[in-house]
């Protein structure tokens, strides 16, 4: 039996809910539905073990993690027919910083407890990998936790669109301390970014000229409530992930709307104005509907295991292939076709990072 991977969770929102439910789903059955790798680098998906979790919501702090994931305003897809035993681990009060702006504070009360010292909490829990799932735009809080990870000697994955792993000074320190990094902003399993990029790559391969394209995303979860108020960084990582593939100037937009009665079900629309042979016009208008948070967790389980594999191998700093394949804004943008090959080489151990 392989060792456990000791995970620190930052933000017990919908993505954390999908992750915890999914880990229980796979622990209670042997299937591989919805996984890129049941086993990765010697670790089964069920070897991921949350050992500490931070939040600031009064309904979550102090609760067992298995209960906190269902506290409002969380509304992620509920996996049917699984048991969710208590983890025995209570959610810790984190430093609030800019994690509760007025538009989010109206959805929750901030817990009254004193914030814990994050570095000490990470060390006491023996955490090995931190997964950041804070609300988009909470730049100060995100930096605070990222810094604490480095101080506590913990590998770091940035799931949100704050440019932390792409910050050269941060990456250098992590490399000096032999701590692996993956970031920035998770590219969901089959989400708006990967589908938009796949459509663009097919069009470019076939000589189709892209005149204009947009991606419109809407859902009813807290993430989208937040994105309509402070989604600038997400707009940049989404738009940048598409622009990076197109070798000429094109008009690209990414936008968000909050539709409360859609819950965690996200819709993404992809619109293209194109030209094929002899500049003849084409319109492509495609649509994706997906459980948003499960889409994040499907990537997180591989990113967490890649960090642990790098720790085992003594490799610190940015994991180039994992960042390119798993994130919207890696330090180095690489086509998904190339990045997945590089990632498999990294997992096999024939590529350093």
Ligand X SMILES: NC(=O)c1ccc[n+]([C@@H]2O[C@H](COP(=O)([O-])OP(=O)(O)OC[C@H]3O[C@@H](n4cnc5c(N)ncnc54)[C@H](O)[C@@H]3O)[C@@H](O)[C@H]2O)c1
Binding stretches for ligand X (CB under 6 A): 10-15, 54-57, 74, 94-97, 99-100, 133-136, 138, 141, 159-160, 185-186, 188, 191, 221-223, 234, 292-293, 295-296
86 CB-contact burial (10 Å; exposed 0-12 / middle 13-18 / buried 19+)? exposed
Rounded CA-CA distance 292/1 in Å is: 32
Q: Which is nearer to ligand X, 100 or 165 (CB)?
A: 100
**Shortest approach of ligand X to residue 293 CB, angstroms?**
5
Closest approach, Cβ 5 to ligand X, in A, equals: 20
Nearer to ligand X, 100 or 208 (CB): 100
Minimum distance, C-beta of residue 331 to ligand X, in the bound complex (Å) = 17
Place of tokens 């919207």: 328
Distance CA 146, CA 223 (A): 20
Q: How far is the CB of 205 from ligand X (least distance, A)?
A: 26
Looking at beta carbons only, is 41 or 291 nearer to ligand X? 291
Residues in the chain: 353
Are the beta carbons of 65 and 50 closer than 8 angstroms? yes
Instruction: Supply the DSSP symbol for 263.
Output: T
Smallest distance from ligand X to CB 142, Å: 8
Q: How far is the CB of 260 from ligand X (least distance, A)?
A: 14
In whole angstroms, the minimum distance from the beta carbon of 161 to ligand X comes to 6
User: Are the beta carbons of 318 and 306 closer than 8 angstroms?
Assistant: no
Contacts of 115 (CB under 8 A, 6+ apart): 93, 94, 95, 96
13 vs 41, which CB is nearer to ligand X?
A: 13
**Residue sitting closest to ligand X (CB):** 13
Residue 104 C-beta: closest distance to ligand X, Å: 7
Q: Which is nearer to ligand X, 178 or 267 (CB)?
A: 267
Which C-beta is closer to ligand X: that of 24 or that of 316? 24
Q: Which of 118, 173, 169, 123 is nearest to 148 (CA)?
A: 118
User: If DSSP codes are grouped into helix, strand and coil, which group holds residue 236?
Assistant: helix
Residue 76 or 210: the one with the smaller Cβ distance to ligand X is: 76
Closest of 133, 155, 151 to residue 142, by C-alpha: 133
For residue 287 the two structure tokens come to 């649509």
Alpha helices per DSSP H over 92-154: 102-105, 118-125, 139-152
Burial classification of residue 102, based on how many CB atoms lie within 10 Å of its CB (0-12 exposed, 13-18 middle, 19 or more buried):
exposed
Q: Collapsing DSSP states into helix, strand and coil, what is residue 303?
A: helix
Tokens 């990076």 belong to residue: 244
Report whether 182 contacts 326 (CB < 8 A).
Answer: yes
Distance between start and end Cα atoms, the chain: 26
Q: Which is nearer to ligand X, 18 or 210 (CB)?
A: 18
Q: Which helix (H) or strand (E) holds 19?
A: helix 14-27
Rounded to a whole number of angstroms, the minimum distance from the CB of residue 186 to ligand X is: 4
Instruction: Pick between residue 99 and residue 316 the one whose CB is nearest to ligand X.
Output: 99
């Amino acid at each position: 039996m392989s060792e456990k991977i000791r995970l620190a969770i930052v933000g017990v929102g919908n993505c954390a809910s999908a992750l915890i439910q999914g880990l229980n789903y796979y622990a209670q059955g042997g299937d591989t539905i919805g996984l890129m790798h049941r086993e990765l680098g010697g670790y089964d998906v069920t070897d991921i073990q949350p050992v500490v979790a931070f939040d600031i919501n009064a309904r979550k702090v102090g609760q067992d993690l298995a209960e906190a994931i269902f506290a409002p305003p969380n509304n992620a897809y509920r996996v049917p027919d699984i048991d969710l035993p208590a983890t025995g681990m209570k959610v810790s009060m984190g430093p609030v910083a800019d994690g509760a702006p007025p538009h989010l504070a109206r959805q929750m009360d901030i817990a009254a407890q004193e914030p814990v010292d994050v570095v000490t909490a990470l060390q006491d829990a023996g955490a090995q990998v931190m997964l950041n799932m804070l609300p988009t735009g909470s730049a100060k809080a995100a930096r605070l936790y990222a810094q604490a990870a480095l101080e506590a000697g913990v590998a770091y994955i940035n799931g949100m669109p704050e440019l932390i792993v792409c910050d050269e000074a941060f990456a250098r320190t992590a490399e000096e301390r032999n701590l692996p990094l993956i970031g920035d902003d998770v590219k969901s399993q089959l989400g708006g970014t990967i589908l938009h990029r796949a459509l663009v790559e097919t069009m470019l391969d076939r000589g189709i000229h892209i005149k204009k394209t947009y991606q419109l995303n809407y859902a009813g979860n807290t993430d989208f409530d937040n994105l309509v108020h402070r989604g600038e960084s997400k707009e940049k990582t989404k738009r940048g992930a598409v622009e990076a593939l197109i070798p000429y100037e094109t008009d690209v937009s990414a936008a968000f709307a909050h539709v409360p009665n859609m819950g965690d079900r996200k819709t993404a629309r992809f619109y293209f104005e194109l030209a094929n042979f002899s500049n003849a016009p084409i319109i492509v208008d495609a649509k994706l509907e997906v459980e948003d948070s499960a889409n994040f967790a499907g990537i997180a389980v591989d990113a967490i295991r890649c960090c642990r594999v790098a720790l085992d191998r003594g490799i610190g700093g940015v994991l180039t292939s994992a960042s390119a394949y798993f994130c919207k804004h890696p330090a180095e943008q690489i086509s998904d076709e190339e990045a997945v090959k590089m990632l498999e080489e990294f997992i096999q151990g024939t590529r350093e990072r």
